[in-house]
Structure 1
Amino acid sequence: MSAQNVLNTIKEKGIEWVDFRFVDLSGRAHHISLPASEVEEETFVNGVAFDGSSITGFKGIEESDMVMLPDTESVYVDPFTAHPTLIVMCNIYTPDGERYDRDPRGIAQKAEEYLQSAGVGTTAFFAPESEFFIFDEVRFESGQNKSSYFVDSEEAHWNSNKQEEGGNLGFKVGHKGGYVPVGPTDSQQDIRSEMCRLLMESGLRIERHHHEVATAGQGEINFRFDTLTKTADNLMKYKYIVQNTARQYGKVATFMPKPLFGDNGSGMHVHQSIFNGSEPLFYEKGGYANLSELALNYIGGILYHAPALIALTNPSTNSFKRLVPGYEAPVNLVFSKGNRSAAVRIPVAAVTPKGCRIEFRTPDSTANPYLAFAAMLMAGLDGIKKKIDPRALGYGPLDKNIYELSDAEKGEIRSVPGSLDEALNALEADYEFLTEGGVFTKEFIDNYIGLKRDEAKAVSIRIHPHEYSLYFDL
């Protein structure tokens, strides 16, 4: 879509405001709204100025001026604003016209450019399965003399004996009992359907939605794959619409990986493949799970670099509350066909040559999608470049339920890092694969690690309520 086509859309749809958006290092979107009457073709050339020093991890106050340049291919109408508003995703540039090396969206685009320059293929496709919880109430605080959180859901099993207005009608979702039940147990069919309606109106191709395993309103909506940057844009749109639809229903949606103790967490399984033109490069009939050697090398790169990669795909302290055995969490760095207990799964049911892909199951939705997808692609391309064979390195294939292996057998399997600090240590030691082609810079990685270490420290130095249960009476 050209700038003129965007202007035509503004006129045809009676748009009053144009909302220019960018994404920070953590993956949070920020926006500045201009009256539609002030948006001209020059706006798409000159961009929209903003203060980079007010964005965590960007610029210092002495060099704060930055520019958002709109991407005319990323527009959609905001389904929530009272005044008709058009949303436009932007790339970030310095005032002298240089691409800003800390712009996550720019990094994603550089990864796509590197794929082509490396001569491997023309296009990388991504499809995330981003799970979430819908709660009825959330309260939390963290102070000097108190620390607590509370979440509640009308369908949670702990409310089976709660007195409710009009009477308790039962049909609560049992502990780990939430996988695809029909109503009335699944009480959130309509809210997920409304989310899907708005997502489709906003340009996403929705494949399905359903209740997920955990109690208390865990759900999942799957949308169609697309190229790397477009998929990251789509995931930002997806989270925006899911969270705002929940709010319209008087509820709250969260993509936090582990908001509940003792039940399944929310992951973001990421399907990915590479094409050369119209030719799928991951398919080879007769190979393991019909995978080509190139695909196996891609898997080798993902698993070899996984400890460092996880600092970008699972970048929160809460991520590692999910990455523990026993909750379908893919903590074991192996690959397998159809096996959901492996970090890398190769889907085999009803898969065509063009649908042949790998699924990295470890990530979660606290990841900045632009950074996470770019990092996964760079790890996979490094595996292709170096012909990393995951079979030779002991990464499988392992077609068994890993959780049922003996302790001796489990001891042979490499696991994901046990904490955010461990993942950051791995990234410090293994980052060169990210800097190939100038996709990530060493300065960006150092800055990112510093920001994430501050987060980890902020959590580690605070008193946890459970410590009172363990130690107060000693």
Structure 2
Amino acid sequence: MIRHTTTHEPEQDADQVGDRIDQDVDFVQLLFTDIAGRLKTLEVPAARWAEVRDRGWTLDGSVLLGYGDAEHSDLRLKPDPDTFVHRPWTTPSGRSVGMVFCEVLDAAGRPFAADPRAVLRRAVAASEARGQRPVFGVEAEFYLLRGTDSGSAGVPADSSGYWDLSVDEQADEVCRDIGEALELMGLTVDGHHHEVCHGQREIVFRHGDALATADRLLLLKHTARVMARRRGLTAVFMPKPLAHLYGNALHVHVSLEGTGPGADARPLFHDGDDPMGMSALFRGSLAGVLDHAPALTALGNPTVNSYKRLVPASGTPVHRSWARHNRSTAFKVVGDPAAPRSMRLEMRSPDPSANPYLLFAGVLAAFADGQDRDLKLPEACEVPADELTGDELAVRGIAELPTDLPSALRALSDDTTVTAALGPLAAHAVDHNARADWAAWHRVITPWEIQRYGENG
């Protein structure tokens, strides 16, 4: 099922990559993402690789923006050869395929302002100009489901629970297929385990720089879907696919390190003299994301379905609070003070429908704002916020995260720090498409409504 091949090494130049593509693959998929974070592609024969690599390929801007815009209709894909990977599975007819991420350029040949990868590049450059290199990691939960004729998302592929040793080898084999494929594409997979609910899984790969981590998350989702389908299952990353089971989370881990070589590349979130091991920079950065949490919710939970997961008493964090040990909180400080590089922030409220490029950019902007304004970090909340009364929450200064998509979009629109990080065009596209989804949702008549109001309305 998976063919063992060598993967691209970043230090190779474009000509070397081109030579290997001509020899190793039959087709090349040019990858980019739309504003929602969905992978898009143009596939070209390998024989045309050198031409496309040098000249690029014209792109209709509506594919990226999600709506027609005459001002941005003519864009160009420019492959980034350093991102080339040899897809380690063949097509049903035995052909081999390479994949390469592209930069999106505007009509003047500049990075397109609303290209999600360009947005994140700008955010990383701003962070590095402050002497801070971001390090990101993600843990994406998903369901492995078997199809049904009922019109539902499916039924869980196994009946195991949290970290159980499953006896359903079919579901385990899908995870092994995914892990092996990712390794062959150059991702270091640390492991996979069963999540809380029947059929729910999680695959963890090594932390890395911001852009590479976002790219890898999209490769993970695509690879999981392909490997599951090849074994007769479906890999589902939507936030809340099954009403009676927990939703899928995207846990985002982030830290900062110095930008210089050697000792200058020290972990900036660690302070050995602090009781929690947290540096003042870490505290200010965390205070920043708490302050901007409503706007970040619009980026981390961008769909109508996201808010079916973000409900109280659902195992999902719905309050703007942080903790060192409480796993039910939206923001958690993770790491061993004795291991400085392990100190990091874990964001537990986002879900896998997030566009990681935009979410990461928003987080970095919130970090910088918290540092610049010297925001003070409130006390940690080491008890589940759902168990506190309204008065107790008020005393602790804990507010709720947005509970529906329009509320989150209003918070994003009002947050000049996060929208500035996205840029006007990307921020408008996020708002435009999300509001269109919300309007479409309100035109749908659900079975629940028919059952509840059909004969009694």
TM-score by length of structure 1 reads 0.87
The one of 111, 119, 122 aligned to 1:99: 111
In structure 1, the partner of 2:7 is none
Please give the alpha-carbon distance, in whole angstroms, between the structure 2 residues aligned to 1:256 and 1:93.
Answer: 30
In structure 2, the partner of 1:2 is 13
In structure 2, the partner of 1:451 is 433
The one of 184, 189, 192 aligned to 1:209: 192
Q: Alpha-carbon deviations, 1:303-322, whole Å to 9, x = none? A: 11010111111100111111
- % same residue: 31
In structure 1, the partner of 2:416 is 431
In structure 1, the partner of 2:77 is 68
Change (3 A) 1:150 1:220: closer
SS in 2 for 1:422: helix
Paired residues of 2:239 and 2:305 also in contact (CA < 8 A): yes
In structure 1, the partner of 2:5 is none
1:319 to 2:278 alignment:
no
Please give the alpha-carbon distance, in whole angstroms, between the structure 1 residues aligned to 2:332 and 2:338.
Answer: 13
Paired residues of 1:77 and 1:87 also in contact (CA < 8 A): yes
SS in 2 for 1:383: helix
Quick one: which amino acid aligns to residue 386 of structure 2? Y
Please give the alpha-carbon distance, in whole angstroms, between the structure 2 residues aligned to 1:454 and 1:197.
Answer: 39
Paired residues of 1:282 and 1:357 also in contact (CA < 8 A): yes
SS in 2 for 1:290: coil
Please give the alpha-carbon distance, in whole angstroms, between the structure 1 residues aligned to 2:441 and 2:279.
Answer: 43
In structure 1, the partner of 2:171 is 188
In structure 2, the partner of 1:125 is 135
Q: Which runs of structure 2 are paired with 1:349-360 in the superposition (5 Å)?
A: 352-360=339-347
Please give the alpha-carbon distance, in whole angstroms, between the structure 2 residues aligned to 1:304 and 1:328.
Answer: 23
In structure 1, the partner of 2:6 is none
SS in 2 for 1:375: helix
Quick one: which amino acid aligns to residue 319 of structure 1? S
Quick one: which amino acid aligns to residue 363 of structure 1? P
The one of 157, 169, 180 aligned to 1:197: 180
In structure 2, the partner of 1:179 is 162
Please give the alpha-carbon distance, in whole angstroms, between the structure 2 residues aligned to 1:456 and 1:225.
Answer: 34
Q: CA deviation at 1:62?
A: 7.0
Please give the alpha-carbon distance, in whole angstroms, between the structure 1 residues aligned to 2:367 and 2:148.
Answer: 39
The one of 315, 319, 332 aligned to 1:345: 332
Please give the alpha-carbon distance, in whole angstroms, between the structure 2 residues aligned to 1:154 and 1:95.
Answer: 48
The one of 262, 280, 289 aligned to 1:302: 289
Please give the alpha-carbon distance, in whole angstroms, between the structure 2 residues aligned to 1:139 and 1:300.
Answer: 48
Equivalenced residue count is 435
In structure 1, the partner of 2:269 is 282
Change (3 A) 1:139 1:61: farther
Higher mean C-alpha displacement, 405-414 vs 65-74: 405-414
Q: CA deviation at 1:50?
A: 2.3
Quick one: which amino acid aligns to residue 182 of structure 1? L
Q: CA deviation at 1:470?
A: 2.8
The one of 83, 87, 93 aligned to 2:95: 83
In structure 1, the partner of 2:238 is 256
Paired residues of 1:328 and 1:340 also in contact (CA < 8 A): no
Gap regions ≥5 residues in structure 1: 141-147, 156-171
SS in 2 for 1:280: coil
Change (3 A) 1:351 1:345: farther
SS in 1 for 2:154: strand
Q: CA deviation at 1:261?
A: 1.1
Q: CA deviation at 1:349?
A: 5.2
Higher mean C-alpha displacement, 246-255 vs 380-389: 380-389
Change (3 A) 1:340 1:228: same
SS in 2 for 1:113: helix
Please give the alpha-carbon distance, in whole angstroms, between the structure 1 residues aligned to 2:390 and 2:293.
Answer: 22
Please give the alpha-carbon distance, in whole angstroms, between the structure 2 residues aligned to 1:51 and 1:348.
Answer: 45
Quick one: which amino acid aligns to residue 34 of structure 1? V
Q: Alpha-carbon deviations, 1:74-116, whole Å to 9, x = none? A: 1101133331111100010013212111100111111111112
SS in 2 for 1:106: helix
Q: Alpha-carbon deviations, 1:40-63, whole Å to 9, x = none? A: 2x5334212222234453653575
Q: Alpha-carbon deviations, 1:205-250, whole Å to 9, x = none? A: 01110010012x1000000011111111111111111110001111
Please give the alpha-carbon distance, in whole angstroms, between the structure 2 residues aligned to 1:54 and 1:433.
Answer: 24
1:234 to 2:244 alignment:
no
Paired residues of 1:338 and 1:348 also in contact (CA < 8 A): no
Q: Alpha-carbon deviations, 1:380-399, whole Å to 9, x = none? A: 111112111122xxxx3112
In structure 2, the partner of 1:27 is 37
Please give the alpha-carbon distance, in whole angstroms, between the structure 2 residues aligned to 1:320 and 1:344.
Answer: 18
Higher mean C-alpha displacement, 95-104 vs 403-412: 403-412
Please give the alpha-carbon distance, in whole angstroms, between the structure 2 residues aligned to 1:256 and 1:270.
Answer: 16
Q: CA deviation at 1:27?
A: 0.9
Change (3 A) 1:120 1:30: same
SS in 2 for 1:289: coil
Change (3 A) 1:138 1:330: farther
SS in 1 for 2:422: coil
The one of 248, 252, 261 aligned to 1:270: 252
TM-score by length of structure 2 reads 0.90
Quick one: which amino acid aligns to residue 79 of structure 1? P
Please give the alpha-carbon distance, in whole angstroms, between the structure 2 residues aligned to 1:433 and 1:241.
Answer: 31
Please give the alpha-carbon distance, in whole angstroms, between the structure 1 residues aligned to 2:335 and 2:41.
Answer: 41
RMSD, aligned CA: 2.0
In structure 1, the partner of 2:144 is 134
In structure 2, the partner of 1:112 is 124
Change (3 A) 1:185 1:349: farther
In structure 2, the partner of 1:52 is 61
Please give the alpha-carbon distance, in whole angstroms, between the structure 2 residues aligned to 1:301 and 1:139.
Answer: 47
Quick one: which amino acid aligns to residue 14 of structure 2? A
Please give the alpha-carbon distance, in whole angstroms, between the structure 1 residues aligned to 2:338 and 2:86.
Answer: 34
Paired residues of 1:378 and 1:434 also in contact (CA < 8 A): no
Please give the alpha-carbon distance, in whole angstroms, between the structure 1 residues aligned to 2:53 and 2:62.
Answer: 23
SS in 1 for 2:368: helix
The one of 395, 405, 420 aligned to 1:420: 405
Please give the alpha-carbon distance, in whole angstroms, between the structure 2 residues aligned to 1:225 and 1:397.
Answer: 26
Paired residues of 2:35 and 2:429 also in contact (CA < 8 A): no
Please give the alpha-carbon distance, in whole angstroms, between the structure 1 residues aligned to 2:149 and 2:107.
Answer: 42
